[in-house]
C-alpha cells in the first residue's frame, strides 16, 4: 500500500492552468467520486485552493495509478493530456508523499511561508472526503496526522508570528504603539486593494470602526459597508483625523495630501492623544515632516518593507525548525504504516491457528467422554498453547525492523497462510 500525491501549485503552473484544473464548487463532489472510482485507487481526498490543486490517494500500484490519474484529470476537465506534461503535474509517493502532505498543512510549501489559511483548507478537504466516505484507515490517519503536525509546528516555532505583507506589517506596528487595538478607530485615505486588505487585518485585530475617505464616494461607501463602517467625502478627512487613532493612506495622488499643518491642527484639538499614520502610497502622500510632531508616529512603505524583509528572514529560520518536526513526524508515520502492513499476516496467522485449535480439540473430544468442567479445561489449555506458539511471530511482525517484508513472506510460507496476506 502506498500514499500517492498528484498535484500542481503556484510553483509548477501559472494561475490560468490552475484555474482550468481546479475542483471548486460543484466540481468537487463528482471529481472526488471519479478519483475514488479509478482502478487501483482505494481511498481519495482532494485539496483545491487558489494556489494549488492536489489529489491524495491510497493506491496499490503507484505507477499504474499515475497513468490513471493523468487520464482522469485530462478527461474530467476536458483538457489536452499534453497540458499535464513537464513540470506542471507532479507526483510524490511513499515517504515523500507523506512529507509533502505534512509540509503543505504546515504552510512550508505555501506562497507565503507560515500563512495560516492552508491549515483550514486542509481540514475542509479532509472533512469533505470523510463526508463522502472516500477515505479509509490510511488517509484518515494521514490527514489527521498532517493537521496535528501543522499545529505542532505553530506551537513549537514562531513561523507565523511575524508579518510578511505590507498591510499586515502596518497592523503589527500599530499594535506595538497602542498595545491593544480593541476600540480603536481607523481612517482609510483611499479605497484600493491595499487599503482593503489592511482594513481586514485591522478588523481581525479588534478595531472598533473603519472610516473611509475616498475621492469616489460610491467606492468608499462600498468598502465601508463591508466592515459596517462609514464613508465620507475625501475633502472631509481632516475633520475625521480628530477622532481617528490610526490613519492609513493609500491614494494615487502625485504629491502630499496630508500636510504637517493639518496634523498639527488636529493634534491640538485631540489634546495630544497619540496618532499613528501609515503611508503605503508610492509616491508618498503624507509629508515626512509630520513625524517631527509630538505623539505622532509616521511610517512609510520603505519602513514597512524593512519590517517585512526582516520578518521573512525570521520565518525562514523558524522554517528550519519546522522541517525537523516534519521529518520526525514522517518517521513516526512510516513506522505506523509498516505495522499496518503486518496486520493482514497477523490476522491470517491467528485465524489459521484458531482453525487448527478448534479442529484438534473437537477431534479429541469426539474420542473421549468428558464432563463440562473437563471440556472447558481442555479448551483453555489448547488456547494457552496456541497463544504461546503464535506470540513470537506476532511480536516479530510488530517490531520496527528493516526486513518486515521478508519476515511477512517467511511467516506466510512457514505457516501455509493465504499468499494474499
Give the pLDDT of residue 374.
Answer: 86
* Long-range contacts (CB closer than 8 Å, 24 or more residues apart) made by 286-294: 286/249, 286/256, 286/257, 286/258, 287/256, 287/258, 287/259, 287/260, 289/260, 290/258, 290/259, 290/260, 290/263, 292/260, 293/260, 293/263, 293/264, 293/267, 294/267
Mean of pLDDT values over 115-124:
90
pLDDT greater than 60 at residue 349? yes
> In CATH, what number does 166-309 get?
3.40.50.720
Residue linked to cell 490610526: 246
Give the pLDDT of residue 252.
Answer: 84
Backbone angles phi, psi at 55, to 5 degrees: -110, 115
Q: How confident is the model at residue 90 (pLDDT cuts 50, 70, 90)?
A: very high
Angle between helices 166-178 and 193-204 (to 10 degrees): 40
Mean of pLDDT values over 246-251:
93
Polymer length in residues for the chain: 421
Q: Give per-residue pLDDT as tens, 10-41.
A: 889 888 888 889 998 899 999 999 999 999 99
| Beta pairing class for 275-279 and 296-300 | parallel
Give the pLDDT of residue 316.
Answer: 86
The answer to whether the CB of 40 falls within 8 A of the CB of 59 is yes
Active-site positions read 50
Model pTM? 0.64
Query: Residue 207 carries which DSSP code?
Result: -
Please state the domain extents for the chain.
2-160, 166-309, 343-414
Q: How confident is the model at residue 412 (pLDDT cuts 50, 70, 90)?
A: confident
Q: How confident is the model at residue 115 (pLDDT cuts 50, 70, 90)?
A: confident
- Per the DSSP assignment, residues forming a β-bridge with 54 are 7, 47
Range of lowest pLDDT (16-20, 166-170, 191-195, 216-220) = 166-170
Q: How confident is the model at residue 397 (pLDDT cuts 50, 70, 90)?
A: low
pLDDT greater than 90 at residue 158? no
Q: Which residue has the higher pLDDT, 194 or 238?
A: 238
Q: Which residue has the higher pLDDT, 209 or 309?
A: 209
Give the pLDDT of residue 419.
Answer: 46
Range of lowest pLDDT (55-59, 200-204, 288-292) = 200-204
Range of lowest pLDDT (235-244, 270-279, 347-356) = 347-356
CA-based nearest residue to 31, from 55, 12, 63: 55
Q: Which residue has the higher pLDDT, 421 or 341?
A: 341
Give the pLDDT of residue 421.
Answer: 44
For the chain, give the mean pLDDT.
88
> In CATH, what number does 2-160 get?
3.30.460.30
pLDDT greater than 60 at residue 89? yes
Burial class of 135 by CB neighbour count within 10 A (0 to 12, 13 to 18, 19+)? buried
Burial class of 292 by CB neighbour count within 10 A (0 to 12, 13 to 18, 19+)? exposed
Give the pLDDT of residue 164.
Answer: 64
Backbone angles phi, psi at 114, to 5 degrees: 90, 5
The percentage of the chain sitting over the pLDDT mark of 90, rounded to a whole number, equals 53
The answer to whether the CB of 113 falls within 8 A of the CB of 29 is no
Residue-wise DSSP of 67-105: HHHHHHHHHHHT--GGGGTTTTSEEEETHHHHHHHHHHH
- Expressed in angstroms, the distance from the first to the final Cα of the chain is 12
Q: Give per-residue pLDDT as tens, 286-345.
A: 999 999 999 999 999 888 888 777 777 888 888 899 999 999 999 999 888 776 666 677
pLDDT greater than 90 at residue 201? no
pLDDT greater than 90 at residue 356? no
Q: Give per-residue pLDDT as tens, 73-88.
A: 999 999 988 888 777 8
Which contiguous run of DSSP H or E holds residue 213? strand 209-214
Cell of 317: 529560520
pLDDT greater than 50 at residue 109? yes
Range of lowest pLDDT (197-201, 207-211, 351-355) = 351-355
Q: How confident is the model at residue 400 (pLDDT cuts 50, 70, 90)?
A: low
Mean of pLDDT values over 47-64:
93
Does this chain's domain 2-160 share its CATH topology with 166-309? no
Residue-wise DSSP of 27-57: GHHHHHHHHHTSTTEEEEEEEE-SSEEEEEE
Amino acid at each position: 500500500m502506498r500514499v500517492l500525491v498528484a498535484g500542481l501549485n503556484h510553483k509548477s503552473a501559472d494561475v490560468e492552468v490552475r484555474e482550468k484544473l481546479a475542483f471548486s464548487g460543484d466540481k468537487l463532489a463528482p471529481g472526488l467520486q471519479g478519483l475514488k472510482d479509478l482502478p487501483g485507487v482505494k481511498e481519495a481526498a482532494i485539496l483545491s485552493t487558489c494556489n494549488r490543486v492536489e489529489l491524495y490517494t491510497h493506491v496499490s500500484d503507484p505507477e499504474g495509478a499515475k497513468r490513471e490519474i493523468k487520464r482522469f484529470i485530462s478527461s474530467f476537465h476536458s483538457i489536452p493530456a499534453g497540458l499535464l506534461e513537464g513540470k506542471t503535474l507532479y507526483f510524490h509517493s511513499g515517504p515523500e508523499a507523506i512529507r509533502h502532505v505534512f509540509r503543505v498543512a504546515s504552510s512550508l510549501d505555501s506562497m507565503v511561508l507560515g500563512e495560516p489559511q492552508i491549515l483550514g483548507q486542509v481540514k475542509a478537504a479532509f472533512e469533505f472526503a470523510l463526508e463522502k466516505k472516500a477515505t479509509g484507515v490510511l488517509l484518515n490517519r494521514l490527514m489527521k496526522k498532517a493537521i496535528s503536525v501543522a499545529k505542532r509546528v505553530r506551537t513549537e516555532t514562531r513561523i507565523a508570528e511575524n508579518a510578511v505583507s505590507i498591510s499586515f506589517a502596518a497592523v503589527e506596528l500599530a499594535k506595538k504603539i497602542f498595545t491593544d487595538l480593541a476600540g480603536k478607530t481607523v481612517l482609510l485615505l483611499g479605497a484600493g486593494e491595499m487599503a482593503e486588505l489592511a482594513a481586514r487585518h485591522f478588523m481581525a485585530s479588534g478595531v472598533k470602526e473603519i472610516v473611509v475617505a475616498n475621492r469616489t464616494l460610491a467606492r468608499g461607501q462600498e468598502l465601508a459597508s463591508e466592515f459596517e463602517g462609514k464613508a465620507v467625502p475625501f475633502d472631509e478627512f481632516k475633520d475625521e483625523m480628530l477622532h481617528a487613532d490610526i490613519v492609513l493612506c493609500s491614494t494615487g495622488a502625485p504629491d502630499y495630501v496630508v500636510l504637517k499643518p493639518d496634523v498639527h491642527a488636529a493634534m491640538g484639538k485631540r489634546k495630544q492623544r497619540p496618532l499613528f499614520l501609515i503611508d503605503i502610497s508610492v509616491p508618498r502622500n503624507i509629508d515626512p515632516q509630520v513625524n517631527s510632531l509630538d505623539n505622532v508616529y509616521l511610517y512609510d512603505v520603505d519602513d514597512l518593507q524593512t519590517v517585512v524583509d526582516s520578518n521573512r528572514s525570521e520565518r525562514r529560520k523558524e522554517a528550519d525548525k519546522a522541517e525537523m518536526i516534519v521529518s520526525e513526524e514522517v518517521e513516526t508515520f512510516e513506522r505506523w504504516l509498516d505495522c499496518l502492513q503486518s496486520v493482514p499476516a497477523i490476522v491470517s496467522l491467528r485465524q489459521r491457528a484458531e482453525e487448527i485449535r478448534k479442529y484438534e480439540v473437537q477431534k479429541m473430544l469426539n474420542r473421549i467422554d468428558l464432563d463440562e468442567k473437563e471440556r472447558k479445561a481442555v479448551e483453555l489449555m489448547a488456547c494457552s498453547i496456541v497463544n504461546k506458539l503464535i506470540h513470537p511471530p506476532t511480536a516479530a511482525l510488530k517490531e520496527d525492523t528493516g526486513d518486515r517484508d521478508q519476515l511477512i513472506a517467511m511467516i506466510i510460507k512457514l505457516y501455509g497462510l493465504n499468499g494474499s496476506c
